[in-house]
Chains A and B, each alone.
Chain A
Amino acid sequence: MSDWRYRLAEQRGTLLAIAIFLVMFVIYVSNHPAGFTANVVQTAANKGVLLALVAMAQTLVVLTAGIDLSVGMVFTLTNCIGSYIVTGSMGTALLGVLGVLVTGLMCGALNGLIVIYGRLQPIVTTIATGSIYYGIALWLRPQPGSDDNFNSDIADLMTSQLPGGIPMSLVALLMVVLVVWLPFRRSAVGRAVYAVGSSEVAAYMSGVPIRRAKFVAYTLSGLLSAMGGLYVTFITYSGEASFAGGGSYTLFSIAAVVLGGVSLFGGVGSAVGAIFGALAFRTIGDLIFVFDLEALWQELFQGVVLLLAVCIGAARLFQVRNRLDLFS
């Protein structure tokens, strides 16, 4: 017998996210004054990839049944660091890129260590570490700016269009999925992350390496946030320590994760779903521009969409047979 039903059920959240994104994107493009051109796609992709990377970062932690409220601040911090060290020739700029990514890894590892060995709740831990990361970012960049020797070649390359109008940022995102997410998902540690998220006690009883799983999840989360921070450096050529900016990336990452079918209770979902959740969320936010409404309404529009999207999650109430199941 084939197991396609099971596989389909497992991917339902991801498929739904893809469907929502496609519908939104078709509405967006068909109402856009310029239509479906390479430039429209490129602009949308560059914006979407930022959120997609942060949403992937959030996914990894959410899969362990935790939450990372510092993703936006790691994003901001690495953006500021990137604006300092992605400089000079191609060689030194690449070293700078490496430095930025290592910073992200360290931020994630710190979160992980505090959660695992400090035994503090992820939500409080990451609020506090987020404050620290933001403080460092503010120290580095009290004013928005960039280094005089900023290597814009590498930035232009990463945000360019490939022949055929394919945005480089989407290719980079695909590479991240292929190089980071898929190997992780298929590894023993990746499976352990899902097990920890489903039931930490059961995972512990089964001899799953809980600590290693959590540590890898938090560390990779830091790495992915740093990739997002790096990308925003590539797009803006500069670094900015904005509290509101970092905070909104954290908020949007949670929204994207929810839209992408990742359960906040842990153990269910995939980073691919979160990517499409992020792209869908960005498209929804931009719909307001193609419909020529005032930009002032964008915040409200996004908020209402977010509110409605999370209420979709309440649909499972109709499946509850026993009132007691409400309280699980």
Chain B
Amino acid sequence: MSSDDARPAMRLPAALRRIDPAVAIAFGCIIVLLLLGSLYSPEFLSLDYILQQLKVASFLGVIATGMMIVVLLGQIDLSVPWVVAVGGMMSCAATAYGEIGALLAIPFGLLCGITLGIVNGIGVAYLRIPSMIITLAVNAVAKGLMVAYTGGFSPQDSASAAMRFIATGEIVFGIPNGLIVWALIGTGAVFLFTRTSFGRAIYAIGNRERAAYLSGVATQRVVMIAFAISGGLSALGGVLLAGYASRAAQAMGDPYLLQSIAAVVLGGTSILGGRGSYLGTVAGVILITLLQSILSVMQMEEFGRQVIYGVVIIGMLLLYGRERLLR
């Protein structure tokens, strides 16, 4: 890619130069966005602003990590919106049950998400239902459960102290805890993808499940666990969001479906599976968050944001996400 010469990504050390052009373009766009923003207001290049953005990005980052695992398999998880809400609502609900409840709030929220993820996984791996349908159905069930539980209103229970701490607190040097959570999850994901046979199996299944099966991979179990992880991470995103806002809300997860898919795909992960790096997803998450932040600083109205999202996603994918021509 000759156009890369002008991009800062090419000044990286040689070890990183073999990086996927998609990732390079995504990081390039982040820098362009920051520079454009700094023309509007110098605040955009300040450390405070960037840390604030990374904190907001961490919620999407956690959710997108789960989405990425599933997309690498060549599947998709459309149950994100209400699994996020289940994570937030159930952890807040547990908090209402006294001290022990507050202690168990986060694990309980995660457990609910993992359970829904396992239902997805059983449907995809063992019942061979296309992931697009079964995850939509699980999303509908999760929504139904939450609407029936809350009576259609935002629940009154508030988030536990621990939830608020991991979402908004700071332990070291002013680095937000949310960002630390994302960093831990991200490190785990990178380790999983590059250093474990489970991670290799995910890429193998994404390329051709049949071949992976014949090579001795327990493909069905891998797929099910991947969906369980995705459900758990969506729920963790919900826990963080509820901690951030101090409470859960109806439809709190709705924006995250589009954003998580966009972040994963903009990061160069193939929606057909088998190809993609976690660094790309990080770039995609930051890109989406920055775009959102700049649009809101410019006081762009909601309709304009929706249109710009769509245009940016399609525009960037046309740059590097195209399939090969059928010949």
Contacts and interface: CB of A to CB of B under 8 A. Distances in A.
Interface of A: 67, 114, 118-121, 123-125, 127-132, 134-139, 142, 200-201, 204, 210, 243-244, 247, 251, 254-255, 258, 264-265, 296-304, 306-307, 309-311, 313-314, 316-317, 323-324, 326-328
A300 B86 CA distance: 14
Given A128-B313, A132-B310, A200 B303 contact: no
Contacts of B302: 135, 138
A91 to B, nearest CB: 31
B32 interface: no
B258 interface: yes
B133 A264 contact: yes
A307 B307 contact: no
Contacts of B272: 121
Interface string B297-325: 00001111111111101100110011111
Given A132-B311, A251-B139, 13 more contacts: A118-B317, A124-B321, A138-B302, A138-B306, A142-B303, A300-B141, A300-B145, A302-B144, A303-B143, A311-B127, A314-B128, A317-B128, A327-B219
Given A121-B323, A124-B261, A324 B213 contact: yes
A166 B273 CA distance: 50
B219 A300 contact: no
B261 A300 contact: no
B199 interface: no
Contact of B137 (A134, A142, A307): A307
Interface residues of B, number: 57
Interface of B: 76, 123, 127-130, 132-134, 136-145, 147-148, 151-152, 209-210, 213-214, 219, 251, 254, 258, 261-262, 265, 271-272, 301-311, 313-314, 317-318, 321-326
Main SS class of interface, A: helix
Nearest to B151: A296
A135 B314 contact: no
Contacts of A139: 301, 303-304, 307
A300 B144 contact: yes
